[in-house]
Structure 1
Amino acid sequence: MSTYVGGCQCGKVRYEMTGEIAEVIACNCSRCGKLGTLLTFVPAQNFKLLSGEDATIEFLFNKNVIHHRFCATCGVESFANGKAPNGSEMVAVNVRCIDGIDLDGLQVKQFDGKKY
């Protein structure tokens, strides 16, 4: 597995995740569609918040099951956490916030979040 580090624009929120990023999700829900996030999902144990726990603000919407965390200073949402369909804890990582990632090399899968 590969290790990635990333965070928000101002650097107050920093994280590390392990996993393989072969495909990312482009969701068109009312939030992701406006933010332009590209998401990958990892089990919570594969995600470590290095700094910024006290620098984030949480936003809940729709069914209130995904905890969207964004930096209170720069406003960037670099990750969110919640439960996977099977009930396990997971983290949705905004791949655009990973340091040095080649976005052009990723396969993008469209997800119709407007339906849900």
Structure 2
Amino acid sequence: MRYHGSCHCGRIAFDVEGELDKAIECNCSHCSRKGYLLWFVPRGQLTLATPEQDMATYTFNKHVIEHRFCPTCGCAPFGLGQAPDGQAMAAINVRCLEGVALDGLERVAVDGRSY
């Protein structure tokens, strides 16, 4: 299935392809404060409609995930990084996807505070 996502003001827009059936709910200091529900997909399944230079980037802790956010509205719709096997990945904030019923998603708790 193809999903369309964006930041709040629409400056960052993207499409992502895949089967969304569950989302990661991480308790790290960043995810818990922002209320992220994350869907990890191979980077090739994410298609940007906005040039990367129009986005701001935030990293923290081990600086392995590039959290992309809008410099206008501050919304952070996805992050980019690598899976443990080195594969390029995208962490999609499912709260930024259009038409997704969050109550129908399985939520998988991840203890990110311990990393």
TM-score, length of structure 2 as denominator length: 0.97
Identity, % of aligned pairs? 45
- Gaps of at least 5 residues in structure 2 are none
- Gaps of at least 5 residues in structure 1 are none
- Residue 52 of structure 1 deviates from its aligned partner by 4.8
Counterpart CA distance in 2 for 1:48 and 1:98 is 13
SS for the counterpart of 2:44 is: helix
SS for the counterpart of 1:72 is: coil
- Structure with the larger strand share: 1
SS for the counterpart of 1:41 is: strand
User: Runs of at least 4 residues of structure 1 off by over 4 A?
Assistant: none
SS for the counterpart of 1:104 is: helix
SS for the counterpart of 1:31 is: helix
- Residue 51 of structure 1 deviates from its aligned partner by 1.7
Q: Which moved more, 1:78-87 or 1:54-63?
A: 54-63
**What RMSD, in angstroms, separates the aligned Cα atoms of the two structures?**
0.8
- Residue 56 of structure 1 deviates from its aligned partner by 1.2
Paired residues for 1:75-94 under 5 Å: 75-94=74-93
| Aligned partner letter, 1:33 | S
TM-score, length of structure 1 as denominator length: 0.96
